[in-house]
């Protein structure tokens, strides 16, 4: 072995000296480099042949080989999701304001109570309006009685038509006055605008309520939805009805949902469009403004090869490749460089396609750890 190396080294040096052109020092150095590279490759090949012969014939010899981990190729479904952050928005959530000012007389519900549309929540002090209504009803009763008498006389052709018209107008005017005061009384109370839950009562008995100050909040959680800002690059890939997974960082809960709407407007400030995901009935823990993580399916491949992203390497020219293993003696194998194309990546897994047809198939082992320490055709030891 030593004699072979010496002879090959001498041959390389002699070739370098003999082949050096008479173009100066630069030409001689280039010729010497090329000759040494040839000698180096030849030595490496010879060393590999000897090691393989020793491994096959010397039972006491165990080579020091790069240690790698591998996994068999599996052909199956690959799903790619787009992950964004969103928050819960209730379809119906209202801060209720009194339409007229007044002092709070009574609270008819408490926080957390379920209410029906039109149910009285808060009453304001309306004694003056109540007295005005009583007076207006008295005037209306009088005007109605006068009209009924005038109407009977008119039917008996007693009196003039003008007297009948005046009595009718006075009755209708008195009725309109009563209805106006009753509407004013209704506006002095706060009622539920829809079925829902009382989220908060913002006033106490005796407080002075005003139209610019909310007095209560009612929320309907049956139509809750999630809203998120989606980058414009996904505008053509996210469709209405696409499956989505919804999780809440504050809760140990994952829900299956679907995209309900994608916005048609791009926000010029952040280059995003609105994404709306309808949330199924998640129970009492789904609250407005609750933060959520939304994963929307934008790509699904039925027969795909996915490997850990760490198994896919790039050469100096930016071309992707993996190492597959050809079985050897015992726990040894030979690493073979295989050019591939990346098609998608998600959550540490990369979907790849071999540039050579049939090179990647079910069960072929792919190096997943230690690939950076391996060269093409090198013998390796597989860690178990």
Tell me what pLDDT residue 12 has: 47
Instruction: Determine, yes or no, domain membership for 151.
Output: yes
Beta bridge partners of 89: 225
Per-residue pLDDT of the chain (384 residues; tens, 9 = 90+): 444 444 455 554 444 444 444 467 888 888 888 888 888 888 878 877 777 777 666 655 556 788 899 999 999 999 999 999 998 887 677 888 887 777 888 888 998 889 999 898 988 876 666 777 788 888 888 888 888 888 888 788 877 888 888 888 888 888 888 887 777 666 678 888 888 888 889 888 888 888 888 889 888 877 678 889 999 988 888 888 899 999 888 888 888 888 988 888 899 999 999 999 987 665 556 777 888 899 999 999 998 999 999 999 998 888 999 999 998 877 788 899 999 999 999 999 999 999 888 888 899 999 999 888 888 888 888 887
For residue 339, the tally of other CB atoms under 10 A from its CB is: 13
Total domains present in the chain: 4
109 and 214, same domain (yes or no) = yes
Domain assignment of residue 48, given as a range: 2-57
Instruction: Determine, yes or no, domain membership for 62.
Output: no
85 and 229, same domain (yes or no) = yes
279 and 366, same domain (yes or no) = no
Tell me what pLDDT residue 131 has: 73
Tell me what pLDDT residue 141 has: 87
Tell me what pLDDT residue 243 has: 92
Tell me what pLDDT residue 80 has: 92
Query: Of the candidates 203, 218, 233, which is a domain's last residue?
Result: 218
280 and 320, same domain (yes or no) = no
The CATH number covering residue 175 comes to 2.40.50.100
- What is the 3-state composition of the chain as percent helix, strand, coil, each rounded to the nearest 5? 30, 35, 30
Q: Tokens at residue 158, please?
A: 């007693």
174 and 100, same domain (yes or no) = yes
Tell me what pLDDT residue 307 has: 93
Instruction: Determine, yes or no, domain membership for 40.
Output: yes
73 and 212, same domain (yes or no) = no
Query: Of the candidates 218, 234, 253, which is a domain's last residue?
Result: 218
Please tell me what DSSP assigns to residue 92: E
107 and 214, same domain (yes or no) = yes
Query: Which residue reads 């957390």 in tokens?
Result: 112
12 and 120, same domain (yes or no) = no
Instruction: Determine, yes or no, domain membership for 146.
Output: yes
Tell me what pLDDT residue 42 has: 85
Helix, strand or coil for residue 324? strand
Query: Of the candidates 259, 277, 300, which is a domain's last residue?
Result: 300
Backbone torsions φ then ψ of 110, nearest 5 degrees:
-125, 165
Measured CA to CA, the distance from residue 294 to residue 258 in angstroms comes to 10
Tell me what pLDDT residue 81 has: 93
Tell me what pLDDT residue 279 has: 76
Strands (E), 108-253: 114-115, 120-124, 189-191, 196-201, 208-209, 216-220, 225-231, 243-247
Helix, strand or coil for residue 286? coil
Give every CB contact of residue 291 below 8 A, 6+ residues apart in sequence: 85, 86, 87, 248, 249, 250
125 and 209, same domain (yes or no) = yes
262 and 309, same domain (yes or no) = no
Backbone torsions φ then ψ of 194, nearest 5 degrees:
-160, 170
The CATH number covering residue 259 comes to 2.40.30.170
């Amino acid at each position: 072995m030593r004699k072979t190396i010496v002879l090959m080294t001498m041959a390389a040096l002699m070739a370098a000296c003999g082949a050096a052109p008479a173009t100066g020092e630069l030409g001689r150095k280039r010729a010497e480099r090329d000759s040494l590279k040839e000698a180096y490759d030849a030595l490496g090949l010879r060393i590999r042949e000897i090691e393989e012969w020793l491994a096959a014939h010397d039972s006491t010899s165990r080579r020091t080989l790069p240690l790698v981990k591998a996994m068999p190729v599996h052909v199956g479904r690959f799903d790619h999701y787009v992950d964004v952050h969103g928050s819960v928005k209730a379809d119906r959530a209202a801060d209720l304001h009194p339409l007229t000012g007044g002092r709070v007389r009574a609270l008819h519900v408490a926080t957390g109570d379920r209410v029906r549309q039109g149910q009285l929540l808060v009453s304001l002090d309306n004694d003056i309006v109540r007295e005005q209504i009583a007076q207006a009803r008295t005037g209306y009763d009088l005007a109605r009685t006068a009209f009924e008498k005038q109407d009977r006389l008119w039917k008996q052709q007693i009196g003039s038509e003008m007297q009948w018209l005046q009595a009718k107008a006075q009755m209708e005017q008195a009725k309109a006055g009563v209805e106006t005061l009753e509407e004013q009384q209704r506006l002095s109370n706060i009622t539920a605008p829809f079925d829902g839950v009382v989220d908060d009562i913002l006033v106490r008995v005796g407080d002075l309520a005003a139209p610019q100050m909310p007095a209560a909040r009612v929320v309907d959680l049956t139509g809750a939805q999630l809203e998120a800002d989606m980058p414009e690059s996904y505008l053509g890939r996210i469709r209405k009805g696409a499956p989505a997974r919804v999780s809440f960082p504050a809760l140990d809960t994952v829900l299956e949902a679907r995209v309900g709407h994608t916005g048609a407007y791009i926000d010029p400030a952040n280059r995003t469009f609105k994404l709306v995901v309808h949330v199924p009935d998640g129970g009492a823990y789904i609250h407005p403004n609750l933060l959520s993580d939304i994963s929307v399916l934008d790509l699904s491949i039925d027969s795909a090869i996915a490997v850990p992203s760490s198994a896919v390497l790039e050469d100096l020219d930016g071309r992707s490749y993996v190492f597959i293993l050809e079985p050897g003696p015992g726990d040894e194998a030979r690493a073979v460089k295989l050019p591939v194309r990346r098609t998608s990546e998600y959550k540490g897994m990369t979907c790849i396609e071999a540039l050579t047809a049939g090179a990647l198939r079910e069960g072929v082992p792919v190096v997943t750890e230690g690939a950076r320490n391996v060269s093409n055709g090198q013998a390796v030891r597989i860690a178990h």
